[in-house]
């Protein structure tokens, strides 16, 4: 029997390497319990101790951003090729940049049931002095726009966004930043959570539409962060709009999840999708996050456990 193999009646050991805050939210007793009942022991990894001293692992899941961890994991993986690494750090890196993350969508060209999936128009501003307003005008970008730090690396700074309402607002963000077309979408964002072949789409509160009238009265830039973490009760939109918002077609959700999983080579991520308020067949991906907050999903325990079981049974058969 080779290292990593499991005989009938044996158990799987899945190591997790996560920041303390993520351990607190993701590794709930209910998840540990559900996994245990399905022959999976979730074991905390100490990233400061050599991995080979913490073996055996059938699989390792992780979300740590340091180069040191990535190197550590790579070395371990080359010496223990039977341990499944979810997911390879070099592939996760693609989601740490707001341009490369959306590139994967651009190449997909999804069109289903009279609907299309694309990405908002965007431009990178990397040097304040090299930034010319003409450049964004040439691209067809108009106000309002949304400025997002180019890096999406899990730091709180990377979630500091701002609405840019007119030319004045172009001085309000730090570079490098992505300036993105703001698309009115009825204040609802669809979050598609992917764990391998398992996919769930939920709706969350989003930024409200910016009407022509608001655009006439508001000026400069409005900073904001972590909108979709607000509870539904916090929304200032009108009653019932959120509850009544129609979900995207299931076939579109599944096709997008499958396509992105293949294009990115990743198993654990979520996709923020909005529907253009002016064109109900136009969907746009605005964000992709690695190892998102699965615990916010109803029944996340079987969702994650089933994903791990599929993986372990297929790869260790």
User: DSSP E strands: which ranges in 51-187?
Assistant: 59-63, 84-86, 110-112, 115-118, 122-125, 145-149, 161-164, 177-181
Site map (CB under 6 A) of ligand ATP, residues 185-204, x = contact: x---x---------------
CB of 196 to ligand I3S, least distance (A): 17
- If binding is defined by CB under 6 A, does position 268 make contact with ligand ATP? no
Binding range to ligand I3S, per CB under 6 A, among 40-48, 50-58, 161-169, 288-296: 288-296
Q: Applying CB under 6 A, which of residues 40, 252, 286, 304 lies at the interface with ligand ATP?
A: 286
Find the angle CA(157)-CA(220)-CA(172) to the nearest 5 degrees: 35
Query: How far is Cα 248 from Cα 110, in angstroms, rounded to an integer?
Result: 13
Site map (CB under 6 A) of ligand ATP, residues 204-233, x = contact: --xx------------------xxx-----
- Name the helix (H) or strand (E) containing 41: strand 40-44
Site map (CB under 5 A) of Mg ion, residues 262-281, x = contact: ----------x---------
Task: List CB contacts of 283: < 8 A, sequence separation 6 or more.
Answer: 115, 116, 117, 118, 248, 252, 273, 274, 275, 276
Say whether 187 counts as a known binding-site residue.
Answer: yes
Site map (CB under 5 A) of Mg ion, residues 217-256, x = contact: ----------------------------------------
C-alpha distances (whole Å) from 227 to each of 91, 96, 125, 192 are 27, 19, 23, 16
CB of 201 to ligand I3S, least distance (A): 12
Query: How far is Cα 232 from Cα 178, in angstroms, rounded to an integer?
Result: 28
Say whether 63 counts as a known binding-site residue.
Answer: yes
What order do you get walking across the sheet with 221-224 strand by strand? Answer: 122-125, 177-181, 145-149, 161-164, 221-224
Q: Applying CB under 6 A, which of residues 14, 51, 59, 161 lies at the interface with ligand ATP?
A: 161
- If binding is defined by CB under 6 A, does position 289 make contact with ligand I3S? yes
Residues that bind ligand I3S (CB under 6 A): 22, 25, 154, 191, 228-229, 270, 289, 292-293, 296
Residue positions forming the annotated binding site for 1D-myo-inositol 1,3,4-trisphosphate: 22, 63, 159, 191, 289, 293
């Amino acid at each position: 029997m080779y290292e990593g193999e499991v005989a009938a009646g044996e158990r799987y050991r899945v190591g997790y390497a996560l920041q303390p805050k993520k351990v607190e939210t993701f590794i709930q007793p209910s998840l540990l319990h559900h996994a245990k009942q399905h022959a999976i022991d979730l074991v905390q990894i100490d990233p400061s101790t050599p991995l080979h001293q913490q073996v055996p692992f059938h699989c390792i899941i992780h979300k740590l951003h340091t180069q040191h961890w990535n190197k550590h994991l790579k070395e371990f993986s080359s010496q223990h090729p039977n341990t499944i690494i979810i997911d390879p750090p070099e592939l996760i890196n693609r989601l740490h940049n707001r341009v490369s993350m959306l590139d994967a969508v651009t190449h997909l060209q999804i069109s289903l049931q009279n609907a299309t999936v694309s990405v908002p128009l965007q431009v990178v501003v990397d040097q304040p002095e090299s930034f010319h307003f003409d450049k964004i005008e040439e691209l067809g970008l108009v106000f309002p726009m949304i400025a997002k730090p180019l890096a999406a690396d899990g730091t709180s700074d990377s979630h500091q966004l701002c609405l840019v309402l007119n030319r004045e607002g172009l001085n309000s963000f730090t570079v490098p930043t992505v300036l993105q077309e703001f698309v009115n979408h009825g204040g609802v964002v669809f979050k598609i959570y992917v764990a391998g072949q398992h996919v769930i789409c939920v709706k969350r509160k989003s930024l409200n539409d910016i009407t022509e009238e608001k655009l006439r009265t508001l000026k400069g830039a409005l900073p904001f962060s972590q909108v979709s973490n607000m509870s539904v009760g916090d929304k200032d939109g009108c009653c019932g709009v959120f509850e009544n918002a129609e979900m995207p077609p299931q076939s579109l959700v599944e096709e997008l999840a499958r396509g992105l999983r293949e294009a990115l080579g990743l198993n654990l991520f979520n996709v923020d999708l909005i529907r253009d308020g002016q064109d109900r067949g136009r969907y746009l991906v605005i964000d992709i996050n690695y190892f998102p907050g699965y615990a916010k999903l109803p029944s996340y325990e079987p969702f994650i456990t089933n994903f791990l079981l599929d993986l372990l049974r297929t790869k260790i058969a």
